[in-house]
Amino acid sequence: EGVDWACISDTIGIIRGCADRFHHMKEEDILFDFTDREAEVIKVFLQDHEKGRGFVREISRGLKERKKEVVCLNLENYRTLLIEHIKKEDEILFPFIDRELSTKQVGEIFSRFEEVEKNKKDTEPQKYYDFIHALEHRFKSSIPGVF
């Protein structure tokens, strides 16, 4: 019954800060610049990112309007998308990159990724990890087999 709206709000902040601002940005602004953006594999990942952003917008809307059903549906959709997206990265994107890019290009990508990581505020990654660990601790006993 009860909804921890503050926790959901904090979760949205983590998703926007970590997943969208850093992970997706590195793919969209760095990695994909080394590929043909018209390649079907790249289009699929860009579509996934937009779908994810759409789910997050809907979660935010549900949060503002205190609509539990909207929040729950879109959190579940986002979770499912993440699971599928990570699998596609492992099984499709990374092999595609290995086939299509030279060792030199991959090295340049990693250098640019490291630069992005270095330029982040030093406290941000720890803030994300601390929040995630707090969620794990909070929900560990209520969701068997998840953590």
Per-10-residue mean pLDDT, the chain, length 147: 87 85 86 93 95 96 96 96 95 94 95 84 68 79 53
Has residue 146 been placed in a domain? Answer: no
Q: For the chain, what is the domain count?
A: 1
40-52: b or e for each residue (b if 16 or more CB lie within 10 Å)? eebeebeebbeeb
Has residue 139 been placed in a domain? Answer: no
The Cα-based distances of 18 to 3, 10, 134 in angstroms read 23, 12, 16
Has residue 145 been placed in a domain? Answer: no
Neighbours of 135 (CB within 10 A): 15
* Full residue range of the structural domain in which residue 69 is found: 5-134
Has residue 84 been placed in a domain? Answer: yes
Has residue 17 been placed in a domain? Answer: yes
Has residue 144 been placed in a domain? Answer: no
Q: Which two tokens stand for residue 115?
A: 């630069």
Q: Which two tokens stand for residue 76?
A: 């579940």
